[in-house]
Structure 1
């Protein structure tokens, strides 16, 4: 999130900075996403991060830790770019619409929620393909990303690619609202400095705190999104809509099951949120200084 005193970057540069930030984060943190999805799809006892990774490497090979990475890589650039660019654009829009003179926490939450909903429409087909490829029940069923898209459309219809859209909107609205709201609060309460190293520390701290708290809020929505998207058209469809699915999981498996995969998720999106913000602000600063000559 850019400093409130600065004008938003032109959309193309916002997109570029967000894309670089997103791809940087996913390349570093992706194995934790695979472990998270496995945990969320399971209804049995959790085996833990290290045990899950060890078993995957032993039984499926080291490459299994990156299974399904192509769909999120394909969408990661526009996804993260949309996250930051839409947030910047909604900030300008809502400041004008509601008369905000400066960025406040309530404005940050509003823009974050709006950016999250916008982001959800873009990513849902890629999220669905990623979940199907990460699911250990589907080992050998899909031969790469293109084959996964093709088989889903052939057996379930093209609209199946948007299964879980409503849950994805909940997941991203909650995460982005909490993330951008917390970024504002943490940055506002940390020492102000023009030293670039101190600014990076502040950004990393703000992004990490925002990522951790946002993950705590949105994990239940992520669990039901994964369950909804894991259904491949075979048998009875148990999960359809977000709120009823939350109630079903809580009733049948206990409230704690709504936080399946929380540890790998928070380990990814806590530091991952810090990486996102640091890279985004660093690239944005480079663009302002060296390209736009601000």
Structure 2
């Protein structure tokens, strides 16, 4: 029998894996449908991978948000709930199903630019590698490095938004409105602390996100190769 703490760990692992594969599936599906066919010119004003990346982040966040909320409640409100299932039942009964999606909009605002930039950077770097080295197929190690580079680019490009969001959250928790909106937060931080203020904490963030991005893309490409090979054999 698995205890409550063991169940909690299993749910967290499931959440991470499900989120990763859902993102990659959504990205691949949308990107294929929006990308122009060989010899045709794209009718989209922006690259297809940028839109597909944003869709991937949105679909993953919407599907996994209730579990993220339960995880947050269990972490912050210790002693209120007896476990994951108890938290889920109590929230549904006492606060209604809509409570499972409280705070979804700010999360979407945060994930869309990162996810869009991440997948766009990966697609661009992958195509550049194929063009430079004239290789259609890319190995696992190369995919890991390309994915990690894409993670570094997207983390760096969108980190100021993350800093602004956290600063706004801190102000809300302390009961005072420090910033009116994200733009006001960005301008204020820039005026007070300079450009370095917008990138404070970037290093630790990259240490977590960069390897995760590389591993995610490597696993995805490896699984896709296996499925394609199986289809061809059949």
TM over 0.5: yes
Task: Extract unaligned runs of 5+ from structure 1.
Answer: 1-63
Find the counterpart in structure 1 of residue 144 from structure 2. 204
Q: How many correspondences in the alignment? A: 218
Find the counterpart in structure 2 of residue 162 from structure 1. 101
SS state at 2:35 partner: helix
After TM superposition, the score normalised by the length of structure 1 is 0.58
CA pair 121-243 structure 1, distance change in 2 beyond 3 A: farther
- Is residue 170–residue 221 contact of structure 1 (8 Å, CA) maintained in 2? no
Q: After superposition, where does 1:128-143 map in structure 2 within 5 Å?
A: 128-135=69-76, 138-143=77-82
Q: Does 1:86 align with 2:23?
A: no
Q: Does 1:244 align with 2:185?
A: no
Find the counterpart in structure 1 of residue 112 from structure 2. 173
After TM superposition, the score normalised by the length of structure 2 is 0.70
Structure with larger Rg: 2
Between 1 and 2, higher relative CO (CA 8 Å, sep ≥ 6) is seen in 1
- Is residue 168–residue 185 contact of structure 2 (8 Å, CA) maintained in 1? no
Q: Does 1:110 align with 2:51?
A: yes
CA pair 112-177 structure 1, distance change in 2 beyond 3 A: same
Q: Deviations over 1:153-210 (max 9, x none)?
A: 4554432211221122222211221111111222233334477xx6112211111011
Counterparts of 2:17 and 2:166, CA distance in 1: 21
Find the counterpart in structure 2 of residue 127 from structure 1. 68
Task: Extract unaligned runs of 5+ from structure 2.
Answer: none
Counterparts of 1:262 and 1:208, CA distance in 2: 15
Find the counterpart in structure 2 of residue 216 from structure 1. 156
Q: After superposition, where does 1:1-294 map in structure 2 within 5 Å?
A: 69-95=9-35, 100=41, 106-135=47-76, 138-154=77-93, 156-190=95-129, 191-193=133-135, 199-219=139-159, 221-222=161-162, 224=165, 244=181, 247=184, 262-293=202-233
Counterparts of 1:227 and 1:67, CA distance in 2: 33
Q: RMSD in angstroms over aligned alpha carbons? A: 4.2
Q: Post-superposition shift, 1:144?
A: 2.7
CA pair 72-285 structure 1, distance change in 2 beyond 3 A: same
Q: Deviations over 1:190-236 (max 9, x none)?
A: 334477xx6112211111011122223344555638976xx9xx996
